[in-house]
């Protein structure tokens, strides 16, 4: 049976991987030591020249279905791993048929939830993980995607200015609809609560986390989901004397990090009452603003933190009358780039530059509080790099062998 590869922008090196061997027999020549989440399938993280990929063995129809689903979700600009291709027609040296393989690009600086607790996360970080999972689920539902197997295991997490951002990594059970019904949404939440409850019990049993009440955590999951869904979608009614509430609704959504791309506004027959309802909302309000000003592509909370520092920089240098684009350019070249350039080469796999910058800002607050006056940002950065960054474990693997 000939080997068949269907790929998105294929890397020729994919052909040279040992497809005649079951994944569990692949050697260190190909497999790299990155943490993997729990999976019902055999999964390996592999290197193809200067790129890192995740390879999952599964049945051929399932592999192609998940590949196409992930491509559809990427076109909708949703946070998922990037699908690279499907390899089928695999046969061992003994002539035995082997499972097909789904290939996705490894999400740099992302970790499975269990690995986060090996990298310093504690019970105090669990609510942040749950909130990240909730935001991911709400975004998927708004886009018409029914997940079918919501869990911490089926997501990857990236640090986001002290919080986390969740990315969909397993779309095997998912379905893309024009709209997700209330029944399907409730099923996703119920399944998510059941899965997360078991995952938390497993974490406790392994000794990775203590002092945690799984019942409270799943209550938080459901309550957070319902609150965010309502804020993003509920219909609001008021009189024409209160039209300011339209702008306030949009401001509230912006504060949550969402932009309103389409808003339905309907008046009653007499034109005295107004009903508004967001129709299209999209996360990334601050990230898009920062990208437009500086070209930096970072997570939403990181962008919010960097924009706040940019504003503080403008006030400190009395640049209030300058155009914001010019202020951003000065801040980028005088503050952000010199600070991130201070990260030693052997520490660049520990955290993303924007996350390092966030931690330096946190460290400056601590040092300034202790000193009774504000500490210089560059002095803070040197202290943080020397005392803290060097001790952190790597959260990414460099492409060089």
Q: Say what percent of the chain tops pLDDT 70.
A: 96
Instruction: Please name each of the domains of the chain with its CATH number.
Output: 4-107 (3.30.200), 111-233 (1.10.510.10), 236-283 (no CATH), 299-391 (no CATH)
Q: Are strands 100-105 and 51-58 parallel, antiparallel or unpaired?
A: antiparallel
**Of 223, 218, 174, 164, which Cα lies nearest the Cα of 195?**
218
* Model pLDDT, residue 36: 56
Characterise 56 by phi-psi region: left (phi > 0), alpha (psi -120 to 50), beta (else). beta
Other Cβ atoms less than 10 A from the Cβ of 96: the count is 10
- At 37, the pLDDT band (50, 70, 90 cuts) reads low
186-216: per-residue pLDDT in tens? Answer: 999 999 999 999 999 998 888 888 888 999 9
Other Cβ atoms less than 10 A from the Cβ of 48: the count is 19
99-145: per-residue pLDDT in tens? Answer: 999 999 988 889 899 888 887 888 899 999 999 999 999 999 999 99
Query: From CA 229, how far away is CA 240, in angstroms rounded?
Result: 26
Query: From CA 200, how far away is CA 393, in angstroms rounded?
Result: 23
pTM comes to 0.88
In contact, 85 and 14? CB cutoff 8 Å: yes
294-327: per-residue pLDDT in tens? Answer: 999 999 999 999 999 999 999 999 987 889 999 9
């Amino acid at each position: 049976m000939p080997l068949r590869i269907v790929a998105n922008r294929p890397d020729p090196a994919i052909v040279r991987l040992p497809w005649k061997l079951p994944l569990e027999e692949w050697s260190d020549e190909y497999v790299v030591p990155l943490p993997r989440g729990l999976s019902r399938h055999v999964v390996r993280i592999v290197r193809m020249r200067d790129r890192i990929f995740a390879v999952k063995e599964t049945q051929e129809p399932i592999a192609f279905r998940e590949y196409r689903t992930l491509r559809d979700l990427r076109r909708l600009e949703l946070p998922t791993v990037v699908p690279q291709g499907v390899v089928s027609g695999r046969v061992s040296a003994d002539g035995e048929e082997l499972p097909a393989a789904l290939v996705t690009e490894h999400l740099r600086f992302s970790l499975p939830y269990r690995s986060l607790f090996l990298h310093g996360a504690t019970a105090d970080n669990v609510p942040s993980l749950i909130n990240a999972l909730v935001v991911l689920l709400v975004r998927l539902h708004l886009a018409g995607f029914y997940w079918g197997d919501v869990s911490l295991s089926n997501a990857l997490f990236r640090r986001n200015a002290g919080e986390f951002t969740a990315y969909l990594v397993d779309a095997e059970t998912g379905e893309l609809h024009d709209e997700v019904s209330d029944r399907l949404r409730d099923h996703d939440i119920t399944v998510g609560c059941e899965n997360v409850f078991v995952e938390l019990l497993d974490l406790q049993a392994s000794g990775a986390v203590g002092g945690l009440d799984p019942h409270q955590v799943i209550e938080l999951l459901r309550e957070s989901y319902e609150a965010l869904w309502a804020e993003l979608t509920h219909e609001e009614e008021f009189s024409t004397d209160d039209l300011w509430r339209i702008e306030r609704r949009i401001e509230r959504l912006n504060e949550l990090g969402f932009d309103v791309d389409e808003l339905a506004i309907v008046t009653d027959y007499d034109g005295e009452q107004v009903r508004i309802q967001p129709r299209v909302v999209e996360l990334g309000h601050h990230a898009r603003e920062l990208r437009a000003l500086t070209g930096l592509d970072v997570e939403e909370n990181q962008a919010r933190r960097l924009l706040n520092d940019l504003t503080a920089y403008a006030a400190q240098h009395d640049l209030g009358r300058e155009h914001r684009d010019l202020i951003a350019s000065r801040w980028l070249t005088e503050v952000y780039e010199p600070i991130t350039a201070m990260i030693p080469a052997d520490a660049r796999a520990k955290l993303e530059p924007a996350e390092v910058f966030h931690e330096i800002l946190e460290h400056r607050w601590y040092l300034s509080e202790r000193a009774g006056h504000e500490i210089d940002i560059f002095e803070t950065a040197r202290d943080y790099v020397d005392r803290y960054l060097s001790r952190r474990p790597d959260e990414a693997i460099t492409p060089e062998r």
